[in-house]
Amino acid sequence: MRITYFAVLALLGAAFLAAIAVLVTPNLIQDDRSYMTLSAPDAANGTFVETDRPDLRPSIPDHFDYNPETRNTVRHRLLNGAVPRSFVVYAPVIDQGPRPTVLLFHGAGRDAASMIDMWDDVADAEGLMLIAIQAPFSGWPVEAPNGAFIHNVLTQAETTYPIDRERLFLFGHSNGAKMAQVVANRVQGPWRGVASHGGYPDPAWMHRIEEAPPIRSYLGTSDHIFVPAQARLSGSVVATAGHDFELIFIPSHTHWFYEGGPAFAADAWSWFESL
């Protein structure tokens, strides 16, 4: 009898979970599809420009240990379906209405706070909102960027913070650089401009779209993970997908982001502000 009792409970539990999956999963899939960009085969090509910026080359650090030093941040938690997720916000202390906002994507194995650490000086100087999303695992699901969740983060953040959707930008490093560029191409949004450091997407992930936001990509010529030749190929394909694309090479710079990050953030913001 006891075995039968537990077997019945197990069956009821499985049935309950299956019912929840049937109810929830289609909605999640539909929501995500509603945020995908539409392929536009007749859309015009963007431009491709390559420049060198030796002025952005950072000094070589004494060591390569890094832990983010953040201040005045708030981590918010939410669910993506049944999966716990989080994002970190850094808000200006000024009260001047909706603020320009930068959505940040961290590198693989890092915490979202690492991106806030690189951008908070610029945020203080310019009155920016920073929102850094935590990847679901050690890295980003770049092939399936989950636009519904990204917009859910923005919607939740808007209930507390003065986000200006007319001035919304994307920035990512490494695996997050791939994510930022793919989001710009595959996820509908009011993305005004996109910048990335030390990374580029597989061109196969991109498709031609209308009203493609401009992209600026920073890459060190001594990057041992993402190489200049492949960066040129990826950037040229992204340009044919409709994005104006600027590839900036930093001579002798490596993949290491956490020495020059504040300078890259300042330069990216100067470009964002010009758009």
Higher pLDDT among residues 80 and 29, named by residue: 80
Q: For the chain, what is the mean pLDDT?
A: 90
d(CA 87, CA 135) in angstroms, rounded, equals 9
Query: Taking 80 as the threshold, does the pLDDT of residue 18 lie above it?
Result: no
- What does the DSSP 8-state code read for residue 137? S
**Residue written as tokens 């100067």?**
270
Task: Report, as an integer, the average pLDDT of 39-68.
Answer: 95
d(CA 102, CA 142) in angstroms, rounded, equals 19
Query: Taking 70 as the threshold, does the pLDDT of residue 107 lie above it?
Result: yes
Scored b (16 or more CB within 10 A) or e, 76-103 reads beeeeeeeebebbbbbbeeeeeebbbbb
C-beta of residue 140 within 8 angstroms of C-beta of residue 175: yes
**Residue written as tokens 């536009």?**
40
Two tokens, residue 168? 């919304």
pLDDT at residue 101, rounded to an integer: 98
Please, which pLDDT band fits residue 63 given cuts at 50, 70 and 90?
confident
Helix (H, G, I), strand (E, B) or coil at 135: coil
Query: Taking 60 as the threshold, does the pLDDT of residue 2 lie above it?
Result: no
Domain ranges of the chain: 1-34, 46-274
The stretches of 159-260 forming alpha helices (DSSP H) are: 175-186, 228-240
C-beta of residue 118 within 8 angstroms of C-beta of residue 261: yes
Cβ contacts of residue 183 below 8 Å, gap of 6+?
Answer: 105, 145, 147, 150, 170, 189, 191, 194
Q: What is the pTM of this model?
A: 0.88
Mention the CATH class of domain 46-274.
Answer: alpha beta
Beta partners for 215? 194, 245
**Using one digit for the tens of pLDDT, what is the confidence trace for 154-199?**
999 999 999 999 999 999 999 999 999 999 999 999 999 999 999 9
d(CA 146, CA 101) in angstroms, rounded, equals 20
d(CA 261, CA 123) in angstroms, rounded, equals 13
C-beta of residue 247 within 8 angstroms of C-beta of residue 232: yes
User: Quick one: CA torsion of 23, 24, 27, 29, rounded to 10 degrees?
Assistant: -120
**Using one digit for the tens of pLDDT, what is the confidence trace for 75-97?**
999 999 888 999 999 998 767 78
pLDDT at residue 81, rounded to an integer: 85
Write the CA distances from 7 to 1, 11, 18, 75, integer angstroms: 10, 6, 16, 41
